[in-house]
């Protein structure tokens, strides 16, 4: 069995009196594609933010890649994010005044040294070799999401997080993005954690967990889903 | 990459950048103008203040028997180390006399002096000296004496003698007498109103004190006294004494003059010197305060503009943090932006400030000023101070932005 990349014990996140994530024990083996499903407010994004080092838990333990995220300072978490994690957002979140290639280079800049050739190659891998110099406003939603994917993978992360990456895309673009992620995962061997509402998107993963009201209520492997 | 980020950020947000630039330019320009004219204002004000009277009095020293000074030493006053600071001086020779006019007799003081004296010293500029220059506030009804037998009489004495310009007064002294034509009546508000003023040479002859003077009043440009200036020179080390001697304190200028006048003792007229010092100090403090206020106002404007800019850019900052930017990297981008704007603002502020200083100098003092070299780095440093002070709060806000909160959704 593969080594665990994520291991949580009683992982909890409270916002004041509201418990966004109730004590959660979760184990994710390296290389797995885990889908997190649930209604709005079920704690999906909270879990993703905690695992990605964007937020801190209120209680419990959180090990990612063998590192205890609770022990990190703010700058330590920033270093963890740039070296270990790639994030794809639903809203893309590209810097509007930078071109596609510069948006990819931005992640390189914070990681180490920007390399334009490598950034171009990354965009070519996601099929945007002809859109290098376009700014986000000149790209379609699907193209923007592919720039976001190129940016997420440019530093060869061990963990790719997707927060409803297809939430704003039409069916054709969704299919294109999912196929792209599948290809990239096969090449890069990263672990994927994807939050989605979409059952079809969830079906691309190896395993799906269902959260409800901050609590893990169901867990299914791909085989089982297929049976359902 | 940093350059690309900065370049694109500038090009994409010209209005916000221009507002920050403008705030920095204003602060830097005002600081340049105020600091540029501060020295000039002090100098001009000191000159203006010289019209309030002499600030150094030279008298015969007690050690020399308290007799007289020699008028042949007078030109030496314009050859001393601080000669360019000495804007004027005038000698006096006093004698007790009985004045008679139209059958009336009154006792008073006959005072020999220079009214307007052109002094030519080989190798030095021509100096116009005399009482007219150092006491410009004297109100003269009639005119100033010009000939050897002309005199000007104090208003109180003239009243007692019932004499007006055009009349004649005879001065009787122990050793002789002299008839004077009165050409002016002087009102000073002081003891001078009890005296009769006549040319020095005439009074020396009347009193049979040729070549002698009783005292000399000197008007000199000086710097305000500070703690060091107030120290007793006798207790100073050699280095301290040199520093004291080479600073235009009223005491050091007095000492300088005393050295060339044989048998003299020169002392500051403190009520004049202190008032001038206090006024110049206050003036410098006001200029400094205005500069600080202008810089503070600019820093506030920069801060406000940056806060608005930060609010607008919070998704961008949150994104940078989400992809791994730490606090140093975020700071580098925003400080880099501010530094570039402040350097450009400093240069423009310097050019603008110079023009402003020129306009102020021309309007207020009717003269031009030379911009000192140190003003350029001062303008740049002012711009940097304004931008750094204005960036502190916005940058702290930027570093507190949480990606989870901003990128939600």
Distance from CA of A223 to the nearest CA of B (A): 31
Q: How far apart are CA B258 and CA B392, in angstroms?
A: 57
- Beta carbons of B9 and A106 less than 8 Å apart: no
Q: In B, what residues contact A, Cβ < 8 A?
A: 1-2, 4-5, 8-9, 11-13, 315-316, 318-329, 402-404, 407-409
Q: CB-CB: which of B1, B326, B403 is closest to A105?
A: B1
Cβ atoms of A118 and A183 within 8 Å: the answer is no
Question: Could you tell me the pLDDT band of residue A223, with boundaries at 50, 70 and 90?
Answer: low
pLDDT category at A227 given cuts 50, 70, 90 is: very low
Maximum distance among all Cα pairs of chain A, rounded to whole angstroms = 50
Distance from C-alpha of A31 to C-alpha of A188, rounded to nearest angstrom: 9
- What are the φ and ψ backbone dihedral angles of B155, each rounded to 5 degrees? -60, -40
Domain of A52 in residue numbering reads as 4-227
Which candidate from A87, A90, A111 shows the least CB-CB separation from B322? A87
The CA distance from A35 to A168, in Å, is 18
Read off the pLDDT band of B372 (50, 70, 90): confident
pLDDT over threshold 90, residue A169: no
- The widest CA-to-CA distance across chain B, in whole angstroms, is 112
Amino acid A225: pLDDT: 46
Provide the shortest C-alpha distance from residue A129 to chain B (in Å).
20
Q: What digits encode the pLDDT tens for the residues A39-67?
A: 888 999 999 999 999 999 999 999 999 99
Please name the member of B4, B325, B409 whose beta carbon is closest to the beta carbon of A78: B325
Could you tell me which of A25, A29, A48, A8 has the C-alpha nearest to residue A161? A48
Provide the domain count of chain A.
1
% of chain B residues with pLDDT over 90 = 29
Q: Which residues of B touch A148 (CB under 8 A)?
A: none
- Mean pLDDT score, B165-181: 92
Which CATH number is A198's domain given? 3.40.50.300
pTM of the predicted model as reported, rounded to 2 decimal places:
0.64
Token digits for A224? 């089982």
Residue of A nearest to B328 (CA): A75
Nearest CA in chain A to B325: A110
Q: For B363, which DSSP code?
A: I
User: What confidence score (pLDDT) does residue B181 get?
Assistant: 95
Could A78 and B324 be called an inter-chain contact, meaning their C-beta atoms sit closer than 8 Å?
yes
| B323 with A106: Cβ contact below 8 A | yes
* Contact present, B352 and B360 (Cβ < 8 Å): no
Cα–Cα distance for residue pair A137/B150, rounded to 1 Å: 95
Mean pLDDT of A85-106: 90
The candidate with the shortest Cα–Cα distance to A99, out of B358, B20, B1, B354, is B1
| Cβ neighbours of residue B48 closer than 8 Å, sequence gap 6 or more | none
- For residue B48, what pLDDT is reported? 65
Residue B21 near residue B101 (C-beta atoms within 8 A): no
Of A74, A97, A109, the CB nearest to B1: A109
Cα(A42)–Cα(A20) distance, integer angstroms: 7
Residue A82 is nearest to which of B12, B323, B403, comparing CB atoms?
B323
- Please report the pLDDT score of residue A228 as a whole number: 31
Antiparallel, parallel or unpaired: β A215-221 and B56-60: unpaired
**Most B CBs within 10 Å, among A92, A93, A197, to test the B interface:** A93
Report the pLDDT averaged over residues B166-195.
Answer: 91
Inter-residue contact B295 to B31 (CB < 8 Å): yes
Check A106 against B327: CB less than 8 A apart: no
B134 phi, psi to nearest 5 deg: -95, -10
Kind of pairing between the strands at A85-89 and A159-163: parallel
| ipTM of the shown complex | 0.88
Beta bridge partners of A220: A208
Please give the Cα distance from A139 to A207 (Å, whole number). Answer: 33
Cβ-Cβ contacts under 8 Å between A and B: the total is 78
Q: Are the C-beta atoms of residues B349 and B25 closer than 8 Å to each other?
A: yes
* Mean pLDDT computed over every residue of chain B: 86
């Amino acid at each position: 069995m593969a080594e665990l990349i994520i291991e949580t014990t009683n992982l909890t996140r409270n916002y004041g009196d509201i418990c966004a994530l109730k004590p959660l024990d979760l184990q994710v083996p390296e290389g797995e594609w885990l889908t997190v499903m649930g209604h709005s407010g079920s704690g999906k994004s909270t879990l993703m933010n905690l695992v990605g080092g964007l937020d801190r838990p209120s209680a419990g333990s959180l090990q990612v890649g063998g590192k205890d995220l609770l022990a990190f300072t703010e700058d330590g978490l920033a270093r963890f994010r740039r070296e270990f994690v790639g994030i794809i957002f639903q809203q893309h979140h590209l810097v509007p005044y930078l071109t596609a290639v510069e948006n990819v280079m931005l992640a390189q800049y914070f990681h180490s040294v920007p390399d334009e050739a490598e950034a171009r190659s990354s965009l070519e891998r996601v099929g945007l070799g002809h859109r290098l110099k376009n700014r986000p406003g000149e790209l379609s939603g699907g193209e923007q999401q592919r720039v976001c994917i190129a940016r997420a993978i440019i530093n060869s992360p061990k963990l790719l997080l997707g927060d409803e990456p297809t939430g704003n895309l039409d069916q054709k673009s969704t299919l294109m993005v999912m196929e792209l992620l599948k290809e990239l995962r096969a090449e890069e061997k990263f672990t994927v954690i994807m939050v989605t509402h979409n059952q079809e998107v969830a079906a691309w993963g190896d395993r799906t967990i269902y959260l409800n009201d901050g609590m893990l209520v169901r867990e299914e492997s791909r085989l089982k889903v297929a049976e359902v | 990459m940093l350059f690309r980020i900065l370049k694109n950020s500038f090009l994409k947000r010209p209005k916000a950048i221009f507002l920050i630039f403008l705030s920095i330019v204003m602060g830097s320009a005002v600081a340049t103008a105020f600091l540029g004219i501060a020295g000039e204002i002090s100098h001009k004000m000191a000159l203006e203040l010289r019209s309030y009277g002499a600030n150094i009095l030279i008298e015969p020293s007690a050690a020399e028997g308290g007799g007289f000074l020699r008028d042949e030493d007078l030109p030496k006053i314009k050859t001393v180390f601080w000669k360019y600071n000495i804007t004027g001086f005038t000698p006096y020779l006093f004698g007790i006399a009985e004045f008679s006019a139209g059958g009336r007799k009154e006792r008073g003081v006959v005072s020999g002096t220079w009214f307007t004296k052109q002094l030519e010293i080989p190798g030095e500029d021509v100096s116009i000296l005399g009482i007219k220059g150092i006491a410009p506030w004297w109100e003269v009804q009639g005119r100033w004496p010009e000939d050897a037998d002309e005199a000007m009489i104090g208003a109180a004495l003239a009243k007692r003698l019932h004499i007006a310009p055009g009349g004649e007064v005879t001065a009787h002294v122990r050793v002789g007498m002299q008839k004077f034509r009165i050409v002016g009546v002087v009102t000073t508000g002081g003891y001078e109103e009890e005296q009769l003023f006549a040319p020095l040479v005439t009074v020396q002859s009347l009193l049979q004190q040729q070549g002698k003077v009783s005292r000399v009043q000197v008007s000199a440009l000086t710097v305000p006294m500070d703690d060091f200036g107030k120290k007793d020179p006798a207790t100073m080390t050699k280095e301290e004494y040199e520093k004291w001697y080479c600073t235009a304190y009223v005491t050091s200028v007095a000492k300088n003059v005393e050295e060339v006048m044989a048998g003299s003792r020169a002392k500051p007229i403190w009520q004049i010197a202190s008032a001038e010092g206090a006024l110049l100090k206050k003036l410098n403090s006001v200029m400094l305060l205005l500069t600080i206020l202008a810089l503070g106002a600019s820093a506030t404007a920069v801060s406000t503009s940056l806060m608005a800019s930060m609010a607008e850019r919070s998704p961008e900052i949150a994104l940078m943090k989400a992809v791994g930017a730490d606090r140093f990297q975020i700071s580098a981008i925003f400080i880099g932006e501010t530094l570039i704007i402040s350097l450009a603002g400093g240069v423009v502020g310097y050019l603008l400030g110079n023009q402003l200083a020129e306009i102020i100098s021309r309007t207020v003092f009717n003269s031009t000023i030379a911009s000192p070299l140190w003003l350029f780095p001062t303008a740049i440093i002012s711009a940097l101070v304004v931008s750094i002070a204005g960036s502190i709060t916005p940058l702290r806000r930027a570093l507190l932005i949480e990606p989870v909160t901003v990128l939600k959704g």
